[in-house]
Chain A
């Protein structure tokens, strides 16, 4: 089986400082990879390098494209990369305001990716938008409301609908539950878990919340100061941490 995403020796430096160094992993179709670590450990840098928002200094990000098989994303031309970013890839921002168009109705937000890949039938676009709002548990009669009229949890669910409407195969998530209260977090996680199973999505999830990765991620990478210090199956890493930093991280969470 070909990995969907192969990362080899990815390095990003900010001048003399390290963003992330020599990160390598494989992600297989249907697999969810969690990246945890403290603030400043380089997890967001890594995610942005993978998604093409930041230019990495060295290494390779090989994605198994539908048309041409495995290709290095960093060697692609910009139009190809942007095409990939709005068809096979999705990026869920921590703050829904970064990922949504706040001046455009919910339906328009969901429909934007469809129109960007050439959908030109209003009825069909609206039908698909309604279908996706329903899937992320937003009432259909809110379709013409702007995201500014939505609660934080609804905005985040709308952002997810907007990203998944084109049926991507790989989703990058940057702290998708950050800033939400616990009950809304739980519903969102439930929803995400359902969508990932149902659509066979692969995902890379960056978070500092160990509960999130325990629920969602199959495998886990622990980062510290730009390096991956430990990687393995989620329950294995969390229940039997080997590295000193991982032990500290796991023990610093209050057991509810």
Chain B
């Protein structure tokens, strides 16, 4: 890290991205185009999120990176290391200690505060993309607020599956105006989009930034007779016993054995440290040794 340049991007680029972020915050849910840069990682690995993070980081920040809820998977580890090396900021796994959190596919279970920024990696920012392939047409639909087509998708779900089968990247309407793709988070996380933290969405390949300012009204689209439901696996975590967190299903042997664990590893560890026990805590294949305290 040199004194005149901080967090990988040059200052002009950061200024351009910050302008886009400010505009996105001023028009919640609106996709602001920006001149996405080549990043030292492939598209689809979070180039958009990394650029937004780089533009927001200050030397005092403490960074947390989440990949599918976990802090220790490839994507999370490499992005965290990237910023350790290029910005020299402190990093953490604890949600409550972090000031800036870059995430992929999850929102932390622990409620965020007004002092935090949550940055999402977005593969496809356009919620209407798979319904209407023409970009010119989707832009027109956004500008004229013609969102009937989103409900056609939900109608098709119910007609075919008896319920709304869209379980991730569930479309939301922001402040009664723009329909927005909340990135591929499970629909379980949709209610958490109304948050005290600033939420920024960066799509590198598609060159779009959008945002949700704190306490912004976010409504998941649905039908009157088929209301939105934030669904999760109908189990409790096998390690920490939480019945309210989003769960991953893990196959543990080749005889049909399986376990359900919190997808948010920090949340699960914090609970285990506090002495909570799950079904497999004492004898299960995964133990941390910290249950002894309980």
Contact = CB atoms under 8 A, between A and B. Distances in A.
Interface in A94-136: 101, 104-105, 107-108, 111-113, 115-117, 120-123, 125-126
B159 A121 contact: no
Contact of B155 (A78, A108, A117): A108
Interface in B146-201: 146, 148-149, 151-152, 155-156, 158-160
A105 B148 contact: no
Nearest to B223: A122
Contacts of A121: 223-225
Contacts of B224: 120-122
23 contacts: A79-B144, A82-B146, A104-B156, A105-B156, A105-B160, A108-B152, A108-B159, A111-B155, A112-B149, A112-B152, A113-B148, A115-B149, A115-B151, A115-B152, A115-B155, A116-B146, A116-B149, A120-B223, A122-B158, A122-B225, A123-B225, A126-B159, A143-B159
B52 to A, nearest CB: 32
A85 to B, nearest CB: 11
B226 A122 contact: yes
A26 interface: no
A125 B155 contact: yes
- Ordered nearest first, which 7 A-B pairs have the shortest CB separation? A116-B148, A115-B151, A122-B223, A115-B148, A121-B224, A79-B144, A108-B152
Given A112-B152, A115-B148, A144 B223 contact: no
Nearest to A143: B159
A107 B160 CA distance: 11
Contact of A120 (B151, B156, B159): B151
Interface string A149-187: 000000000000000000000000000000000000000
Contacts of A107: 155, 159
B276 to A, nearest CB: 40
A120 B144 CA distance: 19
B154 to A, nearest CB: 8
Given A121-B224, A121-B225, A122-B226, A112 B148 contact: yes
Name the interface size band of chain A: 20 to 34
Contacts of A117: 148
Interface string B212-237: 00000000000111100000000000
Q: Which of A108, A111, A125 is the most central at the interface, judged by chain B CB atoms within 10 Å of its CB? A: A108
B160 A144 contact: yes
A116 B148 CA distance: 4
Contacts of A122: 155, 158, 223-226
Interface in B96-146: 144, 146
Contacts of B151: 115, 120
Nearest to A112: B152
A120 B146 CA distance: 14
Contacts of A143: 159
Contacts of A123: 225
A117 B158 CA distance: 20
Nearest to B159: A144
Interface string A184-216: 000000000000000000000000000000000
Interface in A55-111: 78-79, 82, 101, 104-105, 107-108, 111
A78 B223 CA distance: 28
Nearest to B224: A121
A125 B152 CA distance: 11
Contacts of A112: 148-149, 152
Contacts of A113: 148
A82 B158 CA distance: 28
A106 B172 CA distance: 25
Contacts of B152: 101, 104, 108, 111-112, 115
A143 B160 CA distance: 11
A115 B158 CA distance: 14
Nearest to A121: B224
A126 B225 CA distance: 12
B223 A82 contact: no
A105 B144 contact: no
Interface string A239-256: 000000000000000000
A91 B146 CA distance: 18
B222 to A, nearest CB: 8
Nearest to B144: A79
Nearest to B164: A122
B11 to A, nearest CB: 40
A126 B152 CA distance: 11
A82 B149 contact: no
A107 B157 CA distance: 12
A187 to B, nearest CB: 27
B234 to A, nearest CB: 24
Nearest to B132: A101
Contacts of A116: 146, 148-149
A143 to B, nearest CB: 8
A117 B152 CA distance: 12
Contact of B144 (A78, A101, A125): A78
